[in-house]
Amino acid sequence: MSQQKTEHDYRVEAWWTSERTGIAKSDSSPNAIHFSAAPDCGGLEGRWTPEELLLASVTGCFTTTFRTIASSAKFEFTDLEVEAVATVHTVGSGFYFDDIEIRPILKIGQSEDCDRALVLLERAEDRCLISRTLDFPLRFRPQVQVIESEFSF
For residue 118, what pLDDT is reported?
97
Tell whether 29 and 57 lie within a shared domain: no
68 lies in the same domain as 128:
yes
Residue 54's alpha-carbon distances to 3, 5, 46, 90, 119, in angstroms, are 32, 26, 17, 18, 25
User: What is the tally of structural domains in the chain?
Assistant: 2
In a domain, 1, yes or no: no
CA distance 146 to 111: 6
87 or 136, which is more confident: 87
38 and 61, same structural domain?
no
What was the pLDDT predicted at 2?
Answer: 64
Residue 57 burial (10 A CB sphere; 0-12, 13-18, 19+): middle
pLDDT tens sequence across 109-123: 999 999 999 999 999
In tens, the pLDDT along 58-99 reads 999 999 999 999 999 999 999 999 999 999 888 888 888 888
Residues 74 and 113 placed together within one structural domain of the fold: yes
Domain containing 107 equals: 49-146
98 and 109 together in one domain: yes
Q: 33 forms bridges with which residues in the sheet? A: 24
Q: What is the CA radius of gyration of the chain?
A: 19
